[in-house]
Amino acid sequence: MKTIQTTISWPKEDVFELNVIIPKEKVKAEYNRLLESFAKQLESHGFRKGNVPLEVAEEKIGKDKLYQQLSNQILPAIYAEAVQQQNLQPIGQPKIDLIKAKEGEDWQIKITGQRKPKIDLSNYKEQIKSLNAKSNIWTPEKGGEKEPTAAESQKAKEEHFQQIISALLANIKVKLPETMVETETKRKIAALIADLQKMNMSIDDYAHSQGKSIEQIHQEYHQQVEALIKLELILDAIADQENITVAQEEIANLTKNNPQANTYILTQLLRQQKVLEYLTSL
């Protein structure tokens, strides 16, 4: 099967644009795979569940719905493939525009994303090892008090994760992409405003109820976004340095009951979770 064709341009220093051509053969293969997945869950008059012919399933579901679902499912995977082709290390969620998507023809998409800045991890291992040595997580080696319950162990683990995160944020310097920080801040504030509108409350009323100005709320959101992006960058840098990866089988297991899941986001989250597990083991 033909692979995707990707070209890249750099409208800004750390902003890339990918123009991607998805071969019609690949689109058709993914369409058939999606149709088969839906057909297995479908019931139709005269056929048992799981035995509905594909042409019957296609007519019952509708091509428009299938192609809409296909675009939602295939684009994250295509993005990951395009990034790998161009040897890019992106950060955050890309903007993906579907330029052309006609049945029986090659698809074309444009992806706009942000390149990940370089990070100096310095002596982060020594700092985390020192933190781990002081942790109150029970282990057989430590002995002492009786073994905690599962709930107590989980609480202690989560608290230790937060200690590690705080240490990483405090000790590792990162030059953040300001455009990305501000864009994400605006997105979160827009979501806040939308939620407030559902409660018939304005952003001014909300600010007053919190005893803050709108500018203070914006600054708080800005700081939260900075911390989240910085943490994502640091965890990804550690994953790269320590060769912490996520196998396709792991993602397949997570999505087997939810084929609509965004595999790119799932991969990122699972990889970050693995990094935190690694850090607690130092």
Looking at the fold, whether 134 and 101 belong to one and the same domain comes out as: no
Looking at the fold, whether 36 and 140 belong to one and the same domain comes out as: no
Looking at the fold, whether 225 and 107 belong to one and the same domain comes out as: no
Provide the number of structural domains found in the chain.
2
Confidence at residue 183, expressed as pLDDT on a 0 to 100 scale: 85
Output the pTM of the full model: 0.62
Looking at the fold, whether 177 and 215 belong to one and the same domain comes out as: yes
Q: What is the 3-state secondary structure (H, E, C) of 98-149?
A: EEECCCCCCEEEEEEEEECCCCCCCCHHHHHHHHHHCCCCCCCCCCCCCCCC
Q: Which residues of the chain have pLDDT under 50?
A: none
Confidence at residue 49, expressed as pLDDT on a 0 to 100 scale: 67
Confidence at residue 136, expressed as pLDDT on a 0 to 100 scale: 66
What domain range is 128 assigned to? 124-280
What is the CATH classification number for the domain harbouring 232? 1.10.3120.10
Looking at the fold, whether 97 and 146 belong to one and the same domain comes out as: no
- Which of 90, 115, 140 lies at the terminal end of a domain, its last residue? 115
Nearest to 69 by CA among 282, 227, 202, 262: 262
Looking at the fold, whether 45 and 138 belong to one and the same domain comes out as: no
Looking at the fold, whether 9 and 147 belong to one and the same domain comes out as: no
Confidence at residue 133, expressed as pLDDT on a 0 to 100 scale: 85
